[in-house]
Amino acid sequence: MKGMYGVKVLFYYRGRESLGVEYLSAVLKQAGHTVRLIFDPGLDNNFYWKNDLLRRLHMEEEMFGLAEEFQPDLLAFSSTTNEYPFVLKVAAELKKRLPVPVIVGGIHPTSVPEFVISNPLVDMICIGEGESAILELLDRMSNQRDYGDVRNIWVKKPNGDVERNELRNLIEDLDSLPFPDKDIFYQFGVFKGLMQVMTGRGCPFSCSYCHNNVCRRMYRGRGKYVRRRSPGNVIKELKLYKEKYPVTGVSFQDDLFLMDREWIEEFYSMYVTEVNLPFSCNAFPTRMDEKVVSMLKEMGCRNLFVGIDSGNEELRNSVLNRKTPIDEIKKNMAIVRKYGIPIELSAVFCFPGETPEQMWETIDLVDELGPSAVQSHILFPFPGTDVYRKCIKTGMIDEETVELIKRGEGSIVGESLLKHPYKDLAYVLAKLMAVYVKLPKFLKPLFRRLMTEKAKPVANAVFLLTIPFLFPWQGMERIRELILMVLKSRKYYSHQRSTGISGGS
Ligand code: B12
Ligand code: SF4
């Protein structure tokens, strides 16, 4: 373990790029530790479809063989709630082969720490931001020092007791972080030309179904929750990517990119002159004005993602905790349309107490706002959120379902786990809404009549077949990425098998 390579950490991730893993890898490599990723394209099971035949395209044995050969000191997993079942499956397989501790970080252990640490496969969890925590953990491991009291990390002792260490403060200066280690995913073809970037962390809102709802509460008193990198620091990162990768565009993944007018103004002039790439970003419907929208246009915004969630104001206020007056939504979306920026809206169905009329109100509002694409989902109450509590209180989820949710079963795109009288209708509306808003006006009344519970057996197939047309910005790019990911991962594992590895980076 000790020596010139520091500690050897093996990460596992599946299906897509993770900025979280990239940030952790960057800080660890900077400190002299050795990091390797085993990547699973996850094409066989990705919420939208499940097809065991596609598993044959993966090189699972080679992936595990590579892990064994690497002989890591630590197995590291990053987990959202829906990724948790996959994390456990792979952790079980790796633990059979490698007698080293398993650590799980990410939003799932952050949301349900007691549940995750109680799993026999899990030795440690990381709650909240991981950079300083994993660095301290590895430095201690590397020096063979006790690591039972590292802040943000809960450690299971040999007798089963858990050291529940307190949280450290939030990282104040995000510019102090190294740029994410994108190479670790790029070698697997996980992304091509679209660069995922985060210019900040946190969100000023606290919608009842969102991770910010959990994290803001957890971090109270531990530093400024909403933080942003300096514009210059972000530009430097983007320029680096332009040199290293065949960049075609940027996908700003910040919870809300349009938060602070001054920051945007400063960023705008630098971006236009020094980067000048098409991009997509997220915005809150009531947090924009004409000046900001005009800057977005000049910067090359090709997709503005805006959460509408429900067309019913009462639901937005009382259940979603999103105070978004309808007039303001309409006014702002009209400005975005005026500047010709494509709008991607999001909607969610199946809130506690939501009626079919309210669901249709959502469709009508979204339709009226003239989006170029729509993402619509079924409510999946992520653990720890206010809406999760509300679902328990209103009987929409019972004890058994709580257990399923904590295990990561179900998702926002699959069959709903909720006890909701209109969940079948919600499923159909969620699947067909994106098609509906794209139809010519004269076809809408007819299609509307087909959007009933009876369409459930075909709704998902219709959705999947129409994705490339419904999501012009990301649909085709994602399909290309999926193919590349499988091909490049196979090539990577075959190459490693034929050459053999040691160490790694
Ligand atoms: C970018 C993004 C995406 C990207 C890719 C995400 C990915 N890699 O899987 C896209 C757009 C594809 C996407 C898709 C989805 N997403 Co998303 N997404 C995000 C977003 C906005 C940013 C994630 C991010 O990069 N954060 C920045 C990094 C630095 O933070 P991080 O990943 O949390 O990692 C830090 C810590 O958690 C910790 N950590 C993380 N892992 C580990 C591991 C170890 C060992 C340690 C020590 C520490 C550690 O250290 C990291 C650095 O500080 C988040 C919201 C958010 N702001 O986090 C939602 C979020 C993760 N997504 C969410 C959801 C629901 C989805 C979808 C299911 C939605 C859909 N449309 O289908 C899918 C499926 C995702 C999945 N894999 O399960 C939820 C997850 C909620 C939950 N409880 O699971 C979030 C939290 C938003 C929300 N609604 O609350 N998403
Ligand atoms: S505005 Fe978006 S990111 Fe912010 S709390 Fe609400 S849903 Fe979450």
- Give the distance between the most distant pair of CA atoms in the chain: 71
Whether residue 473 has pLDDT greater than 70: no
Mutate to test the pocket of ligand 2, among 206, 226, 227, 255 (most ligand atoms within 8 A of CB): 255
Cβ atoms of 2 and 144 closer than 8 Å: yes
From the alpha carbon of 282, which atom of ligand 2 is closest?
A: 2
Distance of alpha carbon 270 from alpha carbon 293, whole angstroms: 17
Q: What is the pLDDT of residues 339-374, one digit of tens each?
A: 999 999 999 999 999 999 999 999 999 999 999 999
**CB contact set of 488 (below 8 Å; sequence gap of 6+):** 187, 188, 189
For 429-433, what is the mean pLDDT?
A: 95
Whether residue 96 has pLDDT greater than 50: yes
In the chain, what percentage of residues exceed pLDDT 70? 96
Q: What is the DSSP string of 342-356?
A: -EEEEEEE--TT--H
pLDDT band at 11 (very low <50, low <70, confident <90, very high): very high
Q: What is the pLDDT of residues 397-407, one digit of tens each?
A: 999 999 999 99
For 131-151, what is the mean pLDDT?
A: 96
Whether residue 42 has pLDDT greater than 90: no
The verdict on the CB of residue 81 being under 6 Å from ligand 1 is yes
Distance from residue 438's CA to the centre of ligand 2 (Å): 26
For 99-127, what is the mean pLDDT?
A: 98
| Protein residue with least CA distance to atom 3, ligand 2 | 255
Cβ atoms of 115 and 98 closer than 8 Å: no
From the alpha carbon of 203, which atom of ligand 2 is closest?
A: 4
Ligand nearest to the CA of 306: 2
Structure confidence at residue 5 (pLDDT): 55
Count Cα neighbours of 130 within 13 Å in the Cβ-side half-sphere.
28
Nearest to 295 by CA among 307, 310, 283: 283
Distance of alpha carbon 241 from alpha carbon 244, whole angstroms: 5
For 8-33, what is the mean pLDDT?
A: 97
Residue type (1 letter), 461? A
Where would I find the beta strands (DSSP E) of 310-342?
none
From the alpha carbon of 209, which atom of ligand 2 is closest?
A: 7
Q: Which of 8-12, 57-61, 428-432, 499-503 has the lowest mean pLDDT?
A: 499-503
Structure pTM? 0.95
The verdict on the CB of residue 213 being under 6 Å from ligand 1 is no
From the alpha carbon of 19, which atom of ligand 1 is closest?
A: 25
Whether residue 4 has pLDDT greater than 70: no
For 7-32, what is the mean pLDDT?
A: 97
Report all structural domains of the chain as residue ranges with CATH numbers, in order of start: 8-128+130-169 (3.40.50.280), 181-381+420-482 (3.80.30.20)
The verdict on the CB of residue 413 being under 6 Å from ligand 1 is yes
Q: What is the DSSP string of 78-143?
A: E--TTTHHHHHHHHHHHHHH--S-EEEESHHHHHSHHHHHTSTT-SEEE-S--HHHHHHHHHHHHT
Distance from residue 330's CA to the centre of ligand 1 (Å): 29
Distance of alpha carbon 426 from alpha carbon 455, whole angstroms: 11
The verdict on the CB of residue 206 being under 6 Å from ligand 2 is yes
**CB contact set of 38 (below 8 Å; sequence gap of 6+):** 10, 11, 12, 63, 64, 66, 67
Partner residues linked to 197 by β-bridges: 252
Whether residue 136 has pLDDT greater than 90: yes
User: In a 10 Å sphere around its CB, with 0-12 CB exposed, 13-18 middle and 19+ buried, how is residue 36 labelled?
Assistant: buried
In the chain, what percentage of residues exceed pLDDT 90? 82
Would you tell me the crossing angle of helices 423-438 and 356-368 to the nearest 10 degrees?
Answer: 20
The verdict on the CB of residue 153 being under 6 Å from ligand 1 is no
Name the average pLDDT for the chain. 93
From the alpha carbon of 21, which atom of ligand 1 is closest?
A: 41
Structure tokens at 445: 């009344």
Ligand nearest to the CA of 83: 1
Q: What is the pLDDT of residues 279-333, one digit of tens each?
A: 999 999 999 999 999 999 999 999 999 999 999 999 999 999 999 999 999 999 9
Distance from residue 246's CA to the centre of ligand 1 (Å): 24
Structure confidence at residue 503 (pLDDT): 43
pLDDT band at 45 (very low <50, low <70, confident <90, very high): confident
Running DSSP on this structure, what letter comes out for residue 377? Answer: E
